[in-house]
Amino acid sequence: MNVVETIAGVRELVRAERRRGKSIGLVPTMGYLHEGHLSLIRRARTECDFVVVSVFVNPLQFGPQEDYNTYPRDLNRDARLAAEAGAAVIFHPAPAEMYPEGFQTHVEVERLSQGLCGAFRPGHFRGVATVVTKLFNIVTPDRAYFGEKDAQQLALIQRMVRDLNLDVEIVPLPIVRESDGLALSSRNTYLSPAERRAATVLYRALLRGRDLIAAGERDGRRVGEAVRGTLQAEPLVSRIDYVAVVDPETLAEKAALSGRVMLAVAAYIGKVRLIDNIRVVVD
Ligand code: AMP
């Protein structure tokens, strides 16, 4: 696997492929790859000739009290897994390559950054929008692949691409889960065995909401309360940041449920903050 650490280096590789008429796919990640990431890489490979996986733990999207320093990293393993899934190159820049001395330009997606995770992680989505814009400009992909796991990130990037006329197709892919329902996440490695067992409560809570809707409930607030109740019944849930019943594109709260609806939660299991969501079409 070709691991490239410089912007000039990855640009050169991409330019050579373009000259040969090849299409380019980009899968942005923070590394410590799991099946969720690999599903994006595999899909990218079926639709693009040359797949670039970026592995960059982006300091700009971490708050001062967050886990930037302890975020799990294993580049050798990532390189092997990415190659097996069909990637041609890993772009792994150092922070100073992306943010050299004097860096001061940011991308802000205004309203979509504010609710849900944005309310608890100030500056996070500005960091995400900025790094993704840079990656798009560096790699110039035809298509870029994102997981629905990070639903607010996905909505914001789709909005940003439209607002700034970025010439890239955003391909969203469904959440990959463990057999017991827990959404795969690099942060799951922080969980103790007991916490790992308790962590399935996020998905169980979302399913409770979905079941209520299926049974005819159309009041978003009542669905939200049922989801919250399920979370609160788990003793290892130490804090609930939000339970949201929203439109998946605008992230606006939905009081009366119809059309496309997303149930989303963020909660702490012990000290580990986890997010999850589920999409429902209400007729
Ligand atoms: P991360 O490395 O956590 O920044 O994630 C990189 C990309 O992988 C993002 O587009 C995520 O939404 C996506 N991703 C993370 N976990 C999953 C999952 N369980 N299923 C599908 N996609 C995922």
Instruction: Read off the pLDDT of residues 78-113 as tens digits, 9 standing for 90 and up.
Output: 999 999 999 999 999 999 999 999 999 999 999 999
Contacts of 26 (CB under 8 A, 6+ apart): 44, 51, 52, 53, 54, 135, 136, 139, 141, 143, 144, 145, 168
For 235, phi then psi, to 5°, come to: -60, -30
For residue 24, how many C-alpha atoms fall within 13 Å in the half-sphere facing its CB? 28
For 5, phi then psi, to 5°, come to: -105, -10
Decide: 147 in ligand 1 pocket, CB within 6 A.
Answer: yes
Decide: 199 in ligand 1 pocket, CB within 6 A.
Answer: no
Q: Determine the average pLDDT of the residues in 273-282.
A: 98
Nearest CA to ligand 1 atom 8: 37
Domains and CATH numbers, the chain: 2-173 (3.40.50.620), 186-277 (3.30.1300.10)
For residue range 146-182, what is the model confidence (pLDDT) as tens digits?
A: 999 999 999 999 999 999 999 999 999 999 999 999 9
pLDDT at 1 over 90: no
Helices 75-85 and 35-47, axial angle in degrees (round to 10): 40
pLDDT at 254 over 90: yes
- Distance CA(183)–CA(34), nearest Å, equals 11
In eight-state DSSP terms, residue 99 is S
pTM to 2 decimals? 0.98
37 in active site: yes
Q: How far is the CA of 245 from the centre of ligand 1 (A)?
A: 21
% of the chain at pLDDT higher than 90: 99
Q: 261: which strand partners?
A: 280
Q: Determine the average pLDDT of the residues in 218-224.
A: 98
